[in-house]
Structure 1
Amino acid sequence: MGRIAAEVLVDRLAEWGVDTVFGLPGDGINGIMEGLRRASDKVRFVLVHHEEAAAFMATAHGKATGRIGVCLATSGPGGIHLLNGLYDAKLDHAPVLAITGLQETSVLGTGYQQEVALDHLFEDVTEYNLVVSNPVQLPGVVDIAIRTALARRGVAHLTIPNDVQVADAEADPYEHVAPARPPATSPTFLPAPGRPRDEDLRAAAAVLNAAERPAILAGQGALRARDEVLAVADALGAPVIKTLPGKAVIPDDSPFAVGGIGLLGTRPGEDLVEDCDTLLMVGTNFPYTKHLPAPGTVKVVQLEADPVRAGVRLPTDVPMIGDAAEGLAALLPLLDRRTDRGHLEKYQAAMATWRAEMDALEDETRRPIAPQLAVGVLDDLASDDAILTCDSGTIATWAARHWTIRGDRRFFLSGTLATMAPGLPYANALALAYPGRQVIAYLGDGGFAMLMAEFLTAAQHRLPITVVVNNNDSLGQILWEQMVLGYPEHGVRFGEPAGDFAAWARACGGSGVRVTEPGDVRGAIKDALAFDGPSLVDVVVDPNEPPMPGKVSYEQAKKFATAFLKGQPHKAAIATTLFKDKISKLGKR
């Protein structure tokens, strides 16, 4: 067999710097698998156990590296399984290319086995979406798909029929006069929003220089602008709030950091939102508007790469379109350095109190084990360039408050989609992208159970990831949401016995330890971090520990109390846990 079209696809991926494709084979992509086999010296194929995990892994690669992540699935059900992970990429603006198979062109439209119009199914999730119908299209459309995904920070999709995959690479069955050719654009192409307009920079500086109580809200779009964010914060004397996907923008021990915003945020962060008179938003489209200042109460300057998103969340006095690092660097010389540091010092003192309270909750004597303890121990023992991945749920609260960004640490989770289950696939992808760095997955038992087969993937590829399961035998976040809404809990506890995930880890060929005593947590996590291969620590934690908001509103407290009085089945245990939390905090003061 001569050179087939699938080889052109894989070769062009390699020319774009793609070195890994995550996927699961099927009869709808056998030709592409043959192309990958022939080019295995250029592009590595990572076999996963569920296509959803492949999409999550591609998304994690795109989020962490800024380069295109690629996932592959067969026709029909395989492609359908990609969708959740692809929506994670879409909503968190990660560049991903999804490649799927399709039935032979001669049977399309006949209701053939597994015939699903994946191009139609993927319409909402994609920035570029095409059925490839001619082998000579491939070099050109691969270029366009990748350029679109990078430029628009989203998902591109190519679906390729079986007969096209294995056709002669130069075949042009309809003898077109001008067959498609690859564009001249270099594969090193990257989008560059660049420097904002000078008039916008001057207008922004005028608003910021007039501020008396400025604040900065930094999101994931500012992750590569740490030095610039800190320099502007210093010039303005402005505390910096971070969205959860933007947690690694500046270190948590920075004198400018006041933690997060929203239900998972800090009390100083929430107070600052209510107190500031001017807000500089950098690289964020924070969706939870009820946690932002009331419209019209503050002046707003926004630095945003996408003009569509500028001004979407708040009335914005000065929208600036540009790259976070370039925009802040250009803004800095126009700012008047604030000599009065009283506003900043107020929040530095508030953060010192908050940090002491959080430290107190990492109590190694409390029984059952406090969930804050496991992530606090991780924070103590992990290296300064460790990467933490996280699922959605109560674990996101504990990670937000107890995982400290210092040095070159990084943090990844599903931000806007907030789906369960990406933490383990994320960790696998990042262990492949960053060999030699500690990669830790901090997961809930609910999220881990959804894609736990990917621990077997880690074992088969001998990936040195460390998984810590916060095992409360329940869907903890939903439990507390029900109570805050005033409903007694229902349908959120799995029931005894809690799953023993350590046994699963050992069955996969990794290390697995189950911990039920607080005094054993530190030693178990220390050993897991040192293990040469995938390791898992299953920590059985107090299921009645509430992920309380940083600042509890009167309405939240009233509904919580109402649910308590209406027959909450675990109210005695919950009351005891709340009492222990209060005692721990008081003991630190």
Structure 2
Amino acid sequence: MGVDTVFGLPGDGINGIMEGLRRSKTIRFVLVHHEEAAAFMAAAHAKATGRIGVCLATSGPGGIHLLNGLYDAKLDHQPVLAITGSQETSVLGTGYQQEVGLEHLYEDVAEYNLVVDNPAQLPGVVDIAIRTAYARRGVAHLTVPNDVQVADADADPYQHVAPATPPATSATRAYPIGIPREQDLRAAAEVLSAAERPAILAGAGSLHAREELLAVADLLGAPIVKTLPGKAAIPDDSEFAVGGIGLLGTKPGAELMDDCDVLFMVGTNFPYTKHLPAPDAVKVVQVDADPARIGARLPIKAGLVGDAKETLAALAPMLTRRDDRAHLEKYQKAMGDWRSNMEALENKDRSPIAPQYLMGVIDDAATDDAVLTCDSGTIATWAARHWTIRGGREFYLSGNLATMAPGLPYANAVQHAFPKRQVIAFVGDGGFAMLMAEFLTAAQHGWPITVVVNNNNSLGQILWEQMVLGYPEHGVRFEKPEGNFAAWAEACGGFGRKVTDAGELEAAIRGALAFDGPALVDVDVDPNEPPLPGTIAYEQAKKFATAFLRGQPHKVAIATTLFKDKISQLG
């Protein structure tokens, strides 16, 4: 089935499976320190390679720990197989130790979900589980009782009819859904060719369709705005790029959504409709591999069910080239201004260190084929705006689940899959602390990942969300002492540097990237730097002011930081 790696943590509920992995000549078992990390690594493996990710956990608490990472795979439509253990069939239902009905617990997360009752089932159901995960772009789950694990491979204690068997030649990948019907393509081409102010919204489903996406944008004279999971769809310095959408997006991207008369959605089911055009103000064409997602966000004029790459290639010859570039040039100028503003915020003279400067240093020092993994939170804002997609660079984060803590396990999985590429995890102190033992995992497996901790000693995103709701912050800043994650990295045998002075930052980052092994740079950044949206609505500003008037405890520091930001942009 094309599986070469299983991420997991052993336990007495999976000893039989572990023995099978020990005997295997083709599958490597990667030992982690927490089952949640194993599931994140399986999801990241699927995202980065396109091949199914596999994770393994013992019965009861082990299987429960997998869930957060499995929901990450489910919500980002990644094929993952989760294998869990169970007590012997003879004691199920008796309240045995660690007895948890994982097949019931997984009912929502799994597209395929089965307790294996008979060893004779295994060849068939493993094949079906993997093919289902590929076909439905989601999670498959098999839970295997202990006595089934240790039984003879051909045992059939019940003497049933011949069990299901896998096909003689089993497909290791699901085939792309293909090309839409010709009449649908022509209907879409008619709407797109008539656009006067077109816009393309590119999502994760278009990551493999860069050349086709750029070719269609050129024909239409259309600026391209990207969702965050789709950030690597086209280079950020492309003449068609206008950055991102939503709270983490750019001002030109937001303005384009309000200005366009035709929106072409390619490989995205972007959920935040308040950042999309008004339904009555725009004509929408959408291409998606899943017909259930066509028209789910906005009413459409034309829907194309198909693989983004193949669909765009088939659509392009039907489009009428638009020679008037005024609309595109308008957004090229706006993006030039936006980039200048972002570069101004990468100011090394600020103290405390500006997180924009930290991300800018990483961006300058990284190779053109580097992979950046990211946690959720304010760090996602800095990565969205200051990590430049160029060359073969890639970018991965928890998209729709937006959970904390995947950045480090993602980096481990990507480095395992691509040992010669530069892999960087950009994480916050809150998320890193949750699964920091996985840095030790990297050291033990010899993965040369680079971890950069954007350390504001707080849960920064929640802080600003509280203020935007009009509430003074509460319960979002950690007490003293602050963690020294660099010391942890050194204790694991890796490279560790603590940076509090901007003048020391570049040397520390470059030293970490050059280190032959896992490296970590723990950077104290300004905790009062707001991740402001590209455009600020009146209601947001009003509630932000209300939080100040109600007694925001750090209002002087926040106001000072905002003033420094504006001075940097004006300077």
Counterpart residue number, 1:10: none
Q: Determine the structure 2 residue equivalent to 1:318.
A: 302
TM-score, L = length of structure 1: 0.96
Q: CA deviation at 1:17?
A: 1.4
The secondary structure found in structure 2 opposite 1:203 is: helix
Query: What residue number does 1:299 align with?
Result: 283
Alignment match, 2:176: 192
Quick one: distance in 2 between partners of 1:150 and 1:101?
23
Distance 1:336 1:345 in 2: 19
Deviations 1:83-136 (A, max 9, x none): 000000000001000000010000001010000010000000011000011111
Instruction: Tell me how far 1:362 sits from its aligned partner.
Output: 0.7
Paired residue for 1:445? 429
Q: Residue 92 of structure 1 aligns with which residue?
A: 76
Structure 2 CA distance, aligned partners of 1:189 and 1:227?
A: 23
Q: Match of 2:243, SS?
A: coil
Residue 26 of structure 1 corresponds to which residue in structure 2? 11
Residue of structure 2 in register with 1:122 after alignment: 106
2: CA distance between counterparts of 1:104 and 1:17?
29
RMSD: 0.7
Describe the SS at the equivalent of 1:509.
coil
Per the alignment, residue 345 of structure 2 pairs with 361
Deviations 1:213-235 (A, max 9, x none): 00000000000000000000000
Task: Choose from 20, 23, 41 the match for 1:38.
Answer: 23
The CA distance in 1 between the partners of 2:175 and 2:437, in whole Å, is 36
Correspondent of 1:272 among 247, 256, 259: 256
Does the 8 Å contact 1:172/1:179 carry over to 2? no
Report the CA distance between 1:339 and its aligned residue: 0.4
Please state how far the C-alpha of 1:185 moved relative to its aligned partner: 4.8
When normalised by structure 2's length, the TM-score is 0.99
Question: Does residue 419 of structure 1 match 2:403?
Answer: yes
Letter of the aligned partner of 2:560 in structure 1?
T
AA of the residue aligned to 1:91: L
- The correspondence of residues 14-163 of structure 1 with structure 2, limited to 5 A, is 16-39=1-24, 41-163=25-147
Give the distance between the partners of 2:444 and 2:162, measured in 1 at CA. Answer: 47
Give the 3 Å change call, closer, same or farther, for CA 37–377 of structure 1 in structure 2: same
Letter paired with 1:444: G
* Aligned counterparts, 1:505-544, within 5 A: 505-544=489-528
Distance 2:162 2:443 in 1: 49
Runs of 4+ in 1 over 6 A off after TM superposition: none
Distance 1:462 1:237 in 2: 47
Whether the 8 Å CA contact 2:342–2:386 is kept in 1: the answer is yes
- Aligned mate of 2:538, from 554, 559, 563: 554
Q: Is the 8 A contact 2:376 2:403 kept in 1?
A: yes
Secondary structure at 1:89 match in 2: helix
Q: What residue in structure 2 maps to residue 253 of structure 1?
A: 237
Report how far residue 374 of structure 1 moved.
Answer: 1.1
Aligned residue in 1 for 2:474: 490
Q: In structure 1, how many angstroms separate the alpha carbons of the residues matched to 2:482 and 2:351?
A: 17
- 1:355-504 to structure 2, matched below 5 A, reads 355-504=339-488
Q: How many Å separate the matches in 1 of 2:245 and 2:491?
A: 40
Listed one character per residue, the Cα deviations across residues 398-434 of structure 1 (whole Å, up to 9, x for unaligned) are 0000000000000000000000000000000000000
The answer to whether the 8 A contact 2:51-2:173 is kept is: no
Which position in structure 2 is the counterpart of 1:168?
Answer: 152
Distance 1:274 1:179 in 2: 58
TM-aligned CA deviation for residue 178 of structure 1: 1.9
Query: C-alpha distance in 2, partners of 1:509/1:265?
Result: 38
- Alignment partner, residue 9 of structure 1: none
Cα distance between partner residues in 1 of 2:163 and 2:207? 42
CA apart distance, 1:192: 1.5
CA offsets 1:8-33 (integer angstroms, 9 cap, x no match)? xxxxxxxx111110000000000000
Identity within the alignment, %: 78
> For 1:409 and 1:256, how far apart are their aligned partners in 2?
18
Q: Is the 8 A contact 2:375 2:428 kept in 1?
A: yes
SS at match of 2:68: helix
1:85 partner letter: G
List per-residue Cα deviations over 1:58-82 (Å, max 9, x = no partner). 0000111111000000000000000
> SS of 2:144's equivalent?
strand
Structure 1 residue matching 2:189: 3-state secondary structure: helix
Report the Cα distance in structure 1 between the residues aligned to 2:501 and 2:335, rounded to whole angstroms.
Answer: 31
Unaligned runs of 5+ in 2: none
C-alpha separation in 1, matches of 2:107 and 2:274: 30
AA paired with 1:533?
A: G
State the distance in 1 between where 2:480 and 2:443 align.
28
Shift of 1:182: 1.9
Once residues 370 and 490 of structure 2 are traced to their aligned partners in structure 1, the CA distance between those partners, rounded to angstroms, is 24
Mapped partners of 2:246, 2:310: distance in 1: 28
Q: C-alpha deviations, 1:335-362, integer Å up to 9, x for none?
A: 0111000000000000000001101111
In 2, the alpha carbon distance for the partners of 1:189 and 1:136 equals 24
Aligned to 2:560: 576
Match of 1:222 in 2: 206
